[in-house]
Amino acid sequence: MSQAASGASHTPHPQSSLAKLTLGAIGVVYGDIGTSPLYAMRESLHAASRDGLTRADVLGVISLLIWTLMLIVTLKYVILIMRADNDGEGGTLSLIALVQRAVKAPSSVLLAIGAVGISLFFGDAMITPAMSVLSAVEGTALVAPGMQSFVVPITLGIIIALFAVQSRGTEAVSVLFGPIMVIWFLTMAGLGLMHIRDDLGIFAALDPRHALGFLINNGFASFIVLGSVFLAVTGGEALYTDMGHFGRRPIRLAWGVLVLPALTLSYLGQGAMVLAHPERAHNPFFLLAPDWALPALVVLAMAATVIASQAVISGAFSVAKQAVQMGLLPRMQIRHTSETQYGQIFMPKVNGILSFGVVLLVLAFGTSSDLASAYGIAVTGDMVITSVLAIFLLHRAWKWPLWLTLAVMLPLITLEGLFLAANLTKVADGGYIPILFAALLCLVMWTWVRGVAHVRRKSRDNSIGLDDLLRMLDKSPPVEVPGTAVFLTAEPDMAPPALMHNLKHNRVLHRQNFVVTVTVAPEPAVPEDRRLSLTRINDRFVKANLTFGYMEDQNVPRGLALARKQGEKLDIMTTSFFLNRRSFRTSSHEEMPQWQERLFIMLAKGATNATEFYRLPSNRVIELGQQLTI
């Protein structure tokens, strides 16, 4: 039984770095959920006070907030889902890979689920920076009411600066993320503790019966409140997604020792203050602070929201890279911004799309309260997908009895289903934005996957088998030139188009020829002993299959260098790489509608060239053109 299946501890990091990793997890993993007290309580009370705010309402809302944290984050993610690691990695694609091994489901079905999950994640990644930074900057209006008209310009300045520095990397400032977020959580806990004594009756909210009573007594009105209560756990999925960066134990330790206690004390303190001073319900977080400390709290909140936004942006780069590696999106430029931290990357196209979307959201909504209507739908959808996949994992991979699997997961799915339905009531008020964005991204990924498959079939129909070509070459050998040629192809059994073009136009054949296929395994990293598989066909041709994990760079030269260990004479510095550069034309007589053909052609034109993506030495690459009607 595997570690994941048995629930055994997987520790990808040395024990000596536990403190450092825990500090890093506090700064990166918990940035989003750590800034939710800025708006979650405020929006929940606002939704609950439409017919007046009673003591029972306040206790019910606080109870809902705290028990949502306990059930969704603590039980589901910290205790349960984080046991499902794929060689130490977490996230939707890792969970899909584990389920695929367990149930042997068709990869197309799981890829479709992964595409929806990725699309929902990007919807959340676009809203989170706008929501969190707006919430923090709005605190300046409490310090100086005249600042209200400057909230949007200041927010836009922070967001634009944040996206502008992404290309330089965050290694230099990321060391500050952990300490700043520790100060943030301690400040939240301290302010909450100060105000709990305003009304000690707030401790009654720890009884889940107040949450259930609120839902039962308020009927459909409580359903609306659930949409705001869910704001307290946005960012909770980061615990699983970032597991590969920090390890399971540091993330769990940070949650149990600091993050959960700080969030709980903050919500209890806000609730006690509102019970004693109902007029403060319009902005309970910032009004926890005494007047003399409010400016410092606003500055600290801005720093915390910038860190939360950075974590989401970095996560978007990582997820986009995985989607490219898995073939769900076209090749995109990936730059490494750190020489010491492999996971720090920058993707210009993703950065541009996110920055444009975030700025547009700030301009369109103007306040965090209005933006809250669009927040939460994407996250709930992603969480429901995780829970559904977890059912298959628990029952088929971990061999839990079906009754136990359902007893654990059905209540969680029911709860998340309620949150999803509650958030769907926000669709008309702005919730359509993440839905439309996710739908558009799903359409792009479906078009790309479908188009690539169609092009491969078309190319295969117009090609000859590699074995047939070799027999032809034996009968009529071309001029042989010294050196080694590498031909990249997606169809190892067919003659690579670049090879055919080289024979047709240059009428020569190199002494050594490697037909190379690159595949991506459903695991984050592939060990070196499984990286390269060689099959010698004859004295001039070798088939090579390079396998990479979905978290790895597809560095073809580095992978081929391993051929020398297998007895092949291959010097990368004297090797020529032949690539086939295709251009496409639409056709009205094929299986894809014309609009989808045009979209696929546009995506193909915008894809990063293979030389850069596969890390080929540009001075040794020869590209041969081919026009294909699709």
Distance CA 494, CA 461 (A): 10
* Top mean-pLDDT range of 127-136, 343-352, 366-375: 127-136
User: What are the domain boundaries of the chain?
Assistant: 18-449, 464-629
CATH of domain 18-449: 1.20.1740.10
pLDDT band, residue 591 (cuts 50/70/90): confident
Supply the mean pLDDT for the chain.
86
Distance CA 62, CA 206 (A): 8
Output the pLDDT for position 8: 33
The answer to which of 96-100, 169-173, 459-463 has the lowest mean pLDDT is 169-173
pLDDT band, residue 170 (cuts 50/70/90): low
pLDDT, greater one: 108 or 248: 248
Q: Residue 2 above 50 pLDDT?
A: no
HSE-CB of 91 using CA atoms within 13 angstroms? 29
pLDDT in tens, 185-205: 999 999 999 999 999 999 999
**Local structure of 585: helix, strand or coil:** strand
Output the pLDDT for position 7: 33
pLDDT in tens, 355-401: 999 999 999 998 888 888 788 888 888 888 889 888 988 888 888 99
Long-range contacts made by residues 150-155, C-beta under 8 angstroms, separation at least 24? 151/367, 152/362, 152/363, 152/366, 155/130, 155/362
Output the pLDDT for position 173: 65
Output the pLDDT for position 105: 61
Given a contact cutoff of 8 angstroms between Cβ atoms, the answer to whether 374 and 433 are in contact is: yes
pLDDT in tens, 178-190: 899 999 999 999 9
Q: Residue 9 above 80 pLDDT?
A: no
At residue 628, φ and ψ (nearest 5 deg) are: -130, 130
**Residue 59 identity:** L
pLDDT band, residue 341 (cuts 50/70/90): low
Output the pLDDT for position 544: 94
Q: What is the DSSP string of 301-328?
A: HHHHHHHHHHHHHHHHHHHHHHHHHTTS
Output the pLDDT for position 60: 95
**Residue 292 identity:** W
Mean pLDDT of 491-511: 87
Mean pLDDT of 289-315: 91
Output the pLDDT for position 325: 83
Distance CA 247, CA 88 (A): 7
Cβ-count burial 546-581 (b if 16+ within 10 Å, e if not) = bbbbbbbbbebbebbebbeeeebebebeebbbbbbe
The answer to which of 156-165, 213-222, 618-627 has the lowest mean pLDDT is 618-627
Angle at 201 between CA 197 and CA 204, to 5 degrees: 130
3-state DSSP helix/strand/coil % of the chain, to nearest 5: 70, 10, 20
Distance CA 4, CA 19 (A): 24
pLDDT band, residue 14 (cuts 50/70/90): very low
HSE-CB of 190 using CA atoms within 13 angstroms? 10
The answer to which of 35-49, 53-67, 316-330 has the lowest mean pLDDT is 316-330
DSSP tag of 629? E
pLDDT in tens, 304-334: 999 988 888 888 888 888 888 888 899 998 8
Mean pLDDT of 204-215: 94
DSSP tag of 608? P
pLDDT band, residue 284 (cuts 50/70/90): very high
The answer to which of 22-36, 211-225, 336-350 has the lowest mean pLDDT is 336-350
Distance CA 510, CA 577 (A): 11
Output the pLDDT for position 172: 61
Q: What dihedral do alpha carbons 118, 120, 125, 126 form, nearest 10°?
A: 120
Output the pLDDT for position 338: 65
Mean pLDDT of 98-116: 77
